[in-house]
Each structure stands twice: as structure tokens, then as C-alpha cells.
Structure 1
């Protein structure tokens, strides 16, 4: 941190600082080493500009600050209010001073409720030459959970807003709390079966759930984000940089499981089986995954299945799906069709907005392609639903645990269709820390908090609702982003940004509501530098945290003993951003980082010495507690570390399939791009031999680890 280059900063004036604070933009922050850092005036102005706030001069700042104060008074009702069930809420309604107002509350059920006007006098305020008054109404404290609508009519004006009643906590089944279940974690694309088309798919996920429960008594399977990718090559390899978080990647569809395949003419079925043989030959190879090659073959097959006639009942189900997903699906499918037509070439300017007349005309002209991309989403949705159903039928108490990525590709479908609620000219990242003195720019457009609130958080709700629909649990990557985000303006280095604070009570409340309705457990990935109050708040809302053995250490580097772990967490030895445990124990992560030029001061010798001290500290504890014996081997250490997390009070425990088979290659090396084949590594065992799902639970190493887990839990 102290090695970060000095940046000449224009500091904010008092007027700019006042406006920034009113918009919840930081003017200063504490760096990871405790140093107070001043945010630069250009970074603050850029953040405010992305929110639609003019901060170009001190005079402009003063005008904007007054306009912000006027905004509340200019609205009849707030666009949205999120409140915890049972809490009292006084709703301000603003009218021309002296005018009467009629207020109606309509519940989700359609029932209408009266709202009591309270005797609260607030001095009127002049807004744009008109005196505005405030009437205060009591929101009934006994409202049911849900999205309710409040309407106000006064003087010929009509206002409409949402009142969202969220649960105090995400409820977790007492039986799950009592059982403290464990499950498997996997990057789905990397685990293939004999029937996969070169990458793991949703049928493999269903089989993994069934086998995991039957063969190992696992209660869940955590997978990488299954979000939508590009419709044509080149496809982004990272599942954490999708084109859309609302929809799924058809790359994970199992073609043969689509019902219409059974009714294809025999010649077409034979051709499809022949086409499947090409990618299936790749399943037993240890070579890197090639999504582009797989998708070219799979999409050609899907095109043929799409043309097959559907039964009247199947057509009705497809129609219901399209109606449920509504305009969001239409926009997404339109974006896919336009992207396919242009194949990486620039779009015409008139296609910049999904609401433009040119886009509407193009959609009508290419209705068949738009329908095809909507159909792909229906099929993917059905197969994910089937995977969760397979898990529950097998007896899993949780089933599929899906991962919600931080953001979306800056040139993807969500960035196009949701541009009104995303900050333009801004990227998410992190400020300088001990790992990167320059900070990081993730190239991800963030939510624009003022626009998102004006949209009543509906885009955010729909994203969460879609993620939780077919999941027993939802993992939220970088959950700190629900509280604050590091905004990096375009053209600025990552270290020259500012924190923007979000309404975390509203966002977490919506997550809690949608998760509770879906019966979904929520886990927040709260690793790294997270203020204790954030973890306390998440705990109070029933959202689990995350504990990774290698990160659970005291300030002096000593390992945190398992009994000192937090209780309400998902605990695991490793994560997808670290090498598998066998490689970590062997210090291979140090060698790899050295090869990639990622080591800091001291070079490889210092890093190897530190890694050995860390490893030995864990071994000493495991020897002392009898989890390993003196003549231990690598498998013993892996089993002992899993005993470590199983002995903690953590509610859930995850076991990486890479650890179980003895894999040594990391799925991802943070801080790299083309230097390492991130997200393209198939699962292999310690000898580099590919391991297919069909043989996974018969693999000797896997069986030994699962026996050790069973013994530790008994």
C-alpha cells in the first residue's frame, strides 16, 4: 500500500464536498493500512455526473444541492420505500400547499387499505415558485410481506410509489440449522460427463445433485454463476463477466433432454447424435475447454430442435414463460438477435436504446430470431428447474446453490437494456491494497443508485427473483457491493476513484424478501476488508457470511482455530480464486505467481518461506488435535483441513470437487487476463487424468475423503 505511486490530486472545494456527501459519494476514505486518503475533485465530479448531478463548478454544486432538497418535495409520493415487517412508517406526501389529497394503498393481493393521516405539521417549502406542503400518512404496521402500491391524487396530479415490506430476517429451516449440512462446490463447466458436449451442463448438475446425496450424503451443490453469455463467438470465458445476470447461458443446455428431440425424424436424431460425438470426444481430454467450439456445435443442434413442432401444451408453457418474463425477455432476446446479426461489428447509432423506433422495427422484421433466443431461455430455465427438482427428489435439504456475480459486461445485454439504471462512464473496482498498489478496474458498470431508486428497485428485484427462482441457496459475490462501491471514472487510473454508498437497507431488504418467498438461503461473500458492522448487519438479517480456511487468520498470521469461526457462515478450505488445496499445500501457487511476475518484494524465496510457515502452522494444530498422524501424506492433510472446517460452528460446509480428486490447476488466477487460462481448466486428478462425473464417486481419492468427512460428522 505504501508503495502506491503518488497522484497529484485536486481536492474538492467545500461546495463540492457538501454535494458529494448529500449524494453519498465519499470525499475521503481509510486505506487498507489505516491511512486517511482524500478523493480527488475530478473523481468526485465524475461520480456525481454519472448520477445526473451537475458539479462542474461551485455555483453548479450549490444549485444541484438545492435541487436535491427540492426533489423530495416535488414528488407526490416517494418512488419506493423499503421497510421491515412490523416497523412503523410515516409516509410523506407532498402537495401544493393547502390542497387536499386522496391516498390509497393497494396490496399485492388486490386488497385496498385505508391510510390514516397523522397530525404532523411541517413548514411548507417553495419549489420552482410554488409553495409545497407535506401531509403525513401512517403505513399500517400489519402489512403482509410484498410489493404494495401507494397512489396519491391531488389537484389533478397523480403520484404512484411502492411500499416494500421485507422480513426482518431470511428464515432458515430449523432442521437445516440442526443438521449443519455440507455440500459440494464446483465450477460446473469444468466437470463433464460421458454425455456432456465438451463442458459440464445442467443435466450434469442434476446428476451431480442426485449422486452427491446418494453416494456422499451431500446436501447442496454450489456452482459458478450460470448467467447469460454472448450469443455468438467469441464467448467471454469468465462466468463473473456475463452479458446478463437476469438470464441464463444456453451453453449449459443438454440438447438431448429437450422433449421435442424425441419427436424429430429418425434421420435428424441420428444426425444430432453424430454431431454430439465431436464435443463428447473432448470430455476425456485434459486440454483447455473451448467454449467457442462447443457453442458452435451446440447452437447448430439447438437451431434444428427449435424448428421441431411443439405440442399444444408445450406451446402454452412457452407462452406462459414469455408472459412471465415480459419486456425484459423481449429486450434480451432482441439484443441477442442484433448481436448475432452484427457479429462483433459496431451497431448503428439508432440501435443504442432498446426503446428506439429503429430497434422496434428491427425486432418486428426479425421476429423469428428474437423468438429463438427467447426459446433458448425457456429451455435453460426448464433444465435448471429440473436440476433443483432432482436434488430435492434425491433428498437434498438445500439442493442447487447458485452464484450471483457482481456485475455485467459493459457491452452486454444488461448494459444495453438497463442503461437507465446503470452509471455511464464508470467502472467498478477496488482502491489500492496490499495485493495491488494501483488498485483494480473490473470494467463493470455499477448500479446508479439515484436512478435505481427512481425505478423503485424493480430491475434489482427482478434480477434477485430470477436468481432465486430455482435455487435452494443463493451466494452473492462481493456482498460488500450492496453497501459501498469503488467507482473508477473512465480515463482515470483505478486508484483515482471514490466510494459511492448505496441504500443497503433497501437492497438487503429486497434480497431478504425475494429469498424468503423462494425458500432460498442467502450467503454473502464477505471476504477481504469488510467493516465488522457490515458483517453484524448481514447476520442480523439472516444472511450467512463466508469463511475460507486460508483467510481465517489473526493479525500475526496465526491460523484462527475452528472453534473461533463465526457460526452463521458457509465455511470451506478453498475457493475458486485459489489453487486447489493439494497445490496450495505444495506451494505451487508461489511458483505460479512467480512465473506470472506477480510476486512483490523479496521474490520467490521470501514467498516460499512464508508459504511454508503458513502450512506448518496448520499442520502443527492438526497434529496436536490428532486429525493427522506423524507419517501424514498429502491426502491426510487435505482430509485434516476439511476436519478443521467441519469442527467449526459454521452452519454450512463446502467441499471443492477439485480438492476431492486431487486437482492441482487453479480455475482462476486473480489479477491475470491472458497470462493464465482462467475459467478454462477441466477437472483432472492429481496425475492430470480427466475425471468425469460418471466416475467421480468411485475415484479412490474421492471415496477416502468422503469417508473421512462422514467419520468427522458422526
Structure 2
């Protein structure tokens, strides 16, 4: 009985039993793994009686609710809902009253038994039947509410989401233009004015400069909120909240009030100036110093604004209050969390995340947290103000792209999850399975598999919460952008879950409601006029790429992974048009690092390979691949005779570097993304997957200031050539 019940729950909760790995090999998930995944979902798999009761309670709860929490339908499709009722009530007449998001109402009468019977259940000797009923109601795109009524009495209510058939595309792309742009890690940027880390003013400068060269977008790393009180926790892919921004990107000098004497008296001290010079001159971002400098100065500016504007009936205060109101509980959560973590850290109390907070403070809804909120109201207001200032400067940067007629403009990156100790989980623990981590099975990027320390959302809880967390997430990250890249886009279909403490190879896939999530993605894409790129690398089932393409989501094609079975590299002319092509990513070596095998040397130093045999094969494979690259470059006349034909005598040169970029520009992908690291011929990677403290991930700066990049004749010519080639291949 227990075995069959477990298999039922495995199927019911979307745990996959079999999959094909990154090399196409059929793989079976162990029973022990499936039981562990059920356990992290909250099932007591060790007690058969309790497990049986849990399964019965879940089933009964579903049947006792006449409607589901939410339904996503596509515009133009028939409108069906599932209705569950006791058998004696299924031939009565009911009315579905839909209230649109703008307040209009429309009703439709129906009799459930006239629909399609899809399921039957018995609860305490009462038979329940489920019918799928077609409603003759036409609804506009948007978020609506449906009330199921009998004789004007409401029996149940559900959310109705009407979505377009596919994601938004800008007119330039619809007209057949092939465009290019730059992808950057914002923190890596050097400039004459920043405070040791790239900021939103640097971004604005980059957007304007790139636009003048013909680029149509600038792509960013995730700029999600991290931890002001834990500045060295700096991975953009392990944020505290994906809805809010990292304050560290604020250009302090551009905030109203910076010029005030109270602020200037702080920033002109010898200590401050010395720390600022140190932060600017290091080759690695010194997050601790930068955070100290910015929080110190911004706290002073806040004191000025709060006294003069934000405590009075001023226009500025009205705008700020509206920002706070729009941010709702989510903004209150991140601001309270930041203030609380800062307070605990100052008291030398363990504070890396809510799991080590004092018990009475371990949940946003606890009374002690409410008491803290009242006592530290002003500091919490400061952290909300930081989010406001960051949003203002991000919007200003986006406006630069609009003013320069970039067809896409600013392009953001959405991380796959939040870290274990995040504010997002602290504020909504019911949504997350905190005893599991998202990761990946073994693949080319991670031969040993990966566990990222990011607890997954429970798909059932997400459904019960009417998908609101994912709606808010897409909306926040598409705001003030022209495109959104979704890291590990397979998460819309399935995620690799690893039980806490297990090796990444011991994980398994859990499925998500992909069609519903894609519908919401399409709706927010149109509302924000933001196109969507899905990072579909690694272990990717063919059906997800087909489904993404049908929904207007752009594929992500990396040159080094587009390789035929004979070892040759596919011509970029054969890439799907609905794709973004690129040479490298933030998880890969730079072009120079790849050619010189610097990544393999680092991997050896950091013991990333199981044995010398594996490393030797990687070196041999790299040698073969480099020869194949030379063959394809010469075969397509992408490089001149200046670049040799024999890998044994060809080192990485500017001619080869630029030749590879121009080779990609001649491809069929509508979008081409290139990295500033490769423009500057850098060799060190920004991140090495599978490492944490072994390598300074997410810290390495660019080798040159932005001002240098846009005064370099060779780089300006490269940009001009890229623009010419992209125009030539446009339809």
C-alpha cells in the first residue's frame, strides 16, 4: 500500500521517474530520491498511516472546493472551467460572474451536468463529480475574478488570467531586422566617477555610447537585491529578493541632496577619500568597502530628504508614499529584513540569514518582528527609500535607451531562484521547500552536477497562491526594460531538486505548470513591451524548446555548444532566427581564456575534475575544437590569412578574436550578444561554476574604463563592422 501510494504521490506532485541526460542517455530516478523529494514537499514518507491521511486530506480539500484557485486561458481559445460538486447538485443551474480587472462584470448561466464529466470521488459516502464546462464569455487580456453563484449566493471564487498566444516582439524585429548588443556584468564596469563598482550612471553612459555605435541593446547580469549587511555575499544568482534591486548600483552623487553640507562633511574626510580611492583602484570589487561608503553617504542623504521632504506634505513625499503603497508587503518585507539583519549583525548575533536568526525573529509574520518594525520604523523607511532611489536611476537609464532609439534597449536577467537565507523566503515560507535546493544533473558545464543552494518554489503552493508570486516576479523584472533573459528557462517546465545534504547527482526533476507560466509570461511581456529570451542550455528536453518557440520565447544559442557529431561547428547561419546568439556566457571562459585553456588550468588548480584522465581528455577535446573553429572560420571567410590554419601555430590574437565576433554577426539569429570582456581581450572568467570561495567569483572588474572603450579606434571599427554585417543579413 505504501509503495503504491508513494508512486501515486510521485505522479501527482510531478516528480519525474525517467529522463534523458545531457548526452541523450536514458536515466532512471532512484526510489529513495523520489521519497526524499516527497519528504521535502512535506509528506511523511516514513509513516504509512500519516502519509495515507495526508494524501486523503489533500484530495478531500480539492474536492470540497467547487473551483480551483486560478485558471489561465489564451486569448481566442474556448473558455472552460472545472466545477466540482456533490452529485445531487450537478444538474442545478449556476451562474459564473466574471469581474474584469477594470471592474466590468459579465455573467454566464450553465448546468454542470451538461459539460464533460472528468472525475468522480467519494468523501464520507457522498459522491462528488467534476465537470469541465464551456462558458460563452469573451474576456479581454488581463487578470480577472470569477464568482460561482447559485441564487446570487457565492459558492466559490477563482482568478482568471487571459493571456496572449505568445510573447511580445518589438516592431524592428517583426520588420526583419537583425540586431546586436552587449552583455555586461554591471558591477565589473570601471569609470572615472564610480565608487569602485559599476553603477546606474555607468549603465546610462554605456547605453548611449553603444547606441551611437549601432548596438540595439545592453544586457545585464541579475541586479536583484542582495544583502546590505552581508556585502561579501555577492552572487547575483543567489539573491535575497528577485523583485527588488541591489542598492549598491545607485550612483550616490546623482541622488538629490548629495551636495548638501551635511553629506559633503562626511564624504570629504580623509578616511572616506582613502577608502574610496582603494575601492576604485582594486582589480576586484571590494564589496565590503563599497557598501560601507554607499550606505554611509546614502544614510546622510536620507536624513536630509526625510527632514525636508519625506516627513511633510510635499510632492516628493507623495511620490515616495505611492512607491511604498505599490510595493506592498513585498517591499515592507525586504526593507524590514535588511534593517533586521543590519541590527543583528551590529549586535554580533549570527545573521547570515533567517535560519540563524533568533527563533522569535525567524518569520516575517511573528509578533517580535512587528515589534521590531515599530521600534525601527525610520531605518526600515531608509531601506524602502533605497529601493525607490534604485528604481528611479534604473528608469532613468532605460530612458536613455529610449531617447537613443534603441529597438530593445535595456535587457535584464532573471535568476532561477533566491538563496536559502533570503528575505523572499522569510516573507513567504509556505511557498518554498527549504530542505531542497535547485541545481542541475551532470552536463557539459558541470560534469559533477550542480546544487545552487536555492530552495525551489513548491508548484502546488504556487498554484494555490493563484500564481501571484510569479506574476509579481515577471512584472518587476520586465519593468523599465525592452527584454528579459530568464536564466535556466527550463524552470518553467521542470527543475532539478536536490534534497539538502545530498550530492547533486542524487537529485530528481519536479515538473511545473509550464503552459500556465508561459501564459503569464506572455501577458506580462506584452504589458511591459519586453521580449523574452530563455537560457535553454544543459539538459534540455526537445519539447520545451518547441513549446518556448511556439510561445515567442527566444532560444539562447552559444557558439561553443553548437557542434555537430563529427566535431565541426554549425554555421551561425543555421541557428534559429528566433534566438539570441552569443560566443560565451558568464559561466564560461572568455575567448582568450578558452583559446589558451586558462579555464582548464584553473579547474585543475581548484580540483574540479575527478581525475587526470578526465582533464587530459578535456585538453585533447579543446585542441580538436580549436582546430574545428579555425576550419569553420576560414571556411566562411570570417578571418583573413593573418590567422593561420593550423591550431598548433595559432594563438589568440585580435584578428582571431574579432573574426569570431564578426562570424557570429553574419548568422541568422535575430539577436546577437557580445561581451565587453572579449572586446578588451581579457583572459580571466567572471565566474567558475562549482566554486564558491576557491575563486573570486562575481568580483573581477574590466581592465579598462568605459571612457577608454569608446575612444579606442579598433573597438569603434569592430562595432561599425558588426552593425554593417547585421544590416546585411536582415530580411
TM-score range, shorter chain: over 0.9
Aligned to 2:692, which of 667, 670, 673? 673
Assess, with a 3 A threshold, how the Cα gap between structure 1 residues 435 and 336 changes in structure 2: closer, same or farther: closer
Establish whether residue 652 from structure 1 lines up as the match of residue 697 from structure 2.
Answer: no
Alignment of 1:29-428 (within 5 A): 29-57=19-47, 63-99=53-89, 101-118=94-111, 119-120=114-115, 122=117, 125-134=121-130, 137-140=133-136, 142-153=138-149, 158-177=155-174, 178-214=176-212, 216-262=213-259, 264=260, 266=261, 268-269=263-264, 271-272=266-267, 277-278=273-274, 280-282=276-278, 285-309=281-305, 310-311=308-309, 312-343=314-345, 344-345=350-351, 346-428=356-438
Q: State whether residues 19 and 61 of structure 1, in contact with CA within 8 Å, keep that contact through their aligned partners in structure 2.
A: no
Classify the secondary structure of the residue corresponding to 2:316: helix
Structure 2 CA distance for aligned equivalents of residues 276 and 664 of structure 1: 33
Asked whether the 8 Å contact 1:97–1:131 carries over to 2, the reply is yes
Partners of 1:185 and 1:410 lie apart in 2 by: 28
Alignment partners' CA distance in 2, 1:493 and 1:363: 39
Say yes or no: does 1:473 pair with 2:483: yes
Aligned to 2:681: 662
Contact 1:195/1:280 (8 A) holds in 2: no
Q: For residue 148 of structure 2, give the secondary structure of its aligned residue in structure 1.
A: strand
| Structure 2: gaps of 5 or more residues | 644-651
After superposition, the Cα gap between the structure-2 partners of 1:134 and 1:619, relative to the gap in structure 1 and judged at 3 Å, is closer
Aligned residues: 695
Match of 1:114, SS state, is strand
Cα deviation 1:365-406 (Å, max 9, x = unaligned): 211111111111111111111110111112211111000001
Distance 1:570 1:32, change over 3 A: closer
| Maintained 8 Å contact 2:258/2:264 | yes
Distance in 1 (CA, whole Å) between partners of 2:302 and 2:365 is: 27
Distance 1:476 1:640, change over 3 A: same
- The answer to whether residue 711 in structure 2 is matched with residue 698 in structure 1 is yes
Partner of 1:457: 467
Moved over 6 A (4+): none
2:641 aligns with 630
Return the offset for 1:74: 1.2
SS in 1 for 2:80: strand
Structure 1, unaligned stretches of length 5 or more?
Answer: 1-10, 685-690
| Change over 3 Å in CA distance of 1:97–1:287 after alignment to 2 | same
Question: What CA deviation, in whole Å up to 9, does each residue of 1:332-389 have, x standing for no partner?
Answer: 1111111111114442212222122222122112111111111111111111111101
Query: Distance in 2 between the 1:502 and 1:380 partners?
Result: 32
Q: 2:619 aligns with which of 589, 608, 612?
A: 608
Spell out, residue by residue over 1:547-581, the C-alpha distance to the aligned partner (whole angstroms, 9 max, x if none): 11111111232111122111111111111111221
Q: Which of 304-313 and 429-438 deviates more? A: 429-438
Aligned counterparts of 2:124 and 2:295: Cα–Cα separation in 1: 57
Distance 2:124 2:39 in 1: 22
- Aligned-pair distance for 1:676? 1.2
The equivalent of 1:557 in structure 2 is 567
User: What's the CA shift string for 1:572-630, capped at 9, x where partnerless?
Assistant: 11111112212222332222222223345536554333222211211122223222122
- CA gap of 1:434–1:697, structure 2 versus 1, over 3 A, is closer
Q: Is the 8 A contact 2:179 2:672 kept in 1?
A: yes
* Alpha-carbon distance in structure 1 between the residues aligned to 2:445 and 2:706: 36
Helix, strand or coil for the counterpart of 1:261? coil
> Is the 8 Å Cα contact of residues 147 and 158 (structure 2) preserved in structure 1?
yes
Find the aligned partners of 1:39 and 1:523 in 2 and give their Cα distance. Answer: 30
**Does structure 1 conserve the Cα–Cα contact (< 8 Å) formed by 2:214 and 2:720?**
no
User: Which of 441, 452, 462 is matched with 1:431 structurally?
Assistant: 441
Name the CA shift for 1:283/1:19 in 2 (closer, same or farther; >3 Å): closer
| Contact 2:69–2:463 (8 Å) recurs in 1 | yes
